[in-house]
Structure 1
């Protein structure tokens, strides 16, 4: 472990690898089963905790787009839903360029959107699972954010 990384850990700053979702996480998010709902839920909570400095309105803007994806998936407009996911990613990248706090959130979500857009997880059920996960992250974020609930 490099010196810089060790110093970051001592100060409680997570490394960039810990801030992103890995392949196993994405697989869990996209294919939850009865046996791993608890892990799925814990992962949503962890993501919300890591990014508690992200402003609630930023997450709500993303979530409003996610709800459109959910509606399109239910209507079997998969191509249109995939376009919306590409736009979610682009809008997050724009916000990440403007606000430092959202950059790591963008990096974490990018892993998931990459897998959706490269057709690894582009079926209706995967899109609905993505939407449910994002809904859970927004809910936990409200609980863990520095401003807290109203």
Structure 2
């Protein structure tokens, strides 16, 4: 997962991450889901994903180039930190999301398009995770 994190760090924004880099079998989302396996509960992943999907609803109809400024995005980090401390979320997953979301200045989600690509990325992880979890 370190290679994926480094590749994302090298990007200026998340829209630069192509769907072909993460969606196909054996690519990033599949690799992440396989690594998470049973180390991360499906329930925790679904709670996180539900929060993202609720934010996505607010972006419907917005211009893709519009700045994404939903502060709920940053509240995902403390939630994940808490879940990680309780061993419900892996440290690797927390680090991955932290690189993507950032701290408001260095994150990869700057526009609505970046956020939409993040939603697609998380959708693929959730879908593959179901395949690998018991």
Match of 1:10 in 2: none
Q: 1:120 to 1:99 in 2, by over 3 A?
A: closer
**Which ranges in structure 2 are unaligned for 5 or more consecutive residues?**
none
Give the CA RMSD over aligned residues: 2.5
Q: Which structure carries more relative contact order (alpha carbon 8 Å, separation 6+)?
A: 2
How many residues are paired up? Answer: 123
Give runs of aligned pairs for residues 24-103 of structure 1, distance below 5 A: 24-25=7-8, 27=11, 29-33=14-18, 37-41=19-23, 42-52=27-37, 53-74=39-60, 76=62, 78-79=68-69, 81=70, 83-99=71-87, 101-103=89-91
- Note the C-alpha offset of 1:101: 4.8
**Which ranges in structure 1 are unaligned for 5 or more consecutive residues?**
1-16
Match of 2:99 in 1: 111
Matched-pair contact (CA < 8 Å) for 1:89–1:110? yes
Runs of 4+ in 1 over 4 A off after TM superposition: none
Query: Per residue, is there more helix in 1 or in 2?
Result: 1
Question: Higher Cα Rg: structure 1 or 2?
Answer: 1
- Note the C-alpha offset of 1:88: 1.1
TM-score, normalised by the number of residues in structure 1: 0.70
TM-score, normalised by the number of residues in structure 2: 0.77
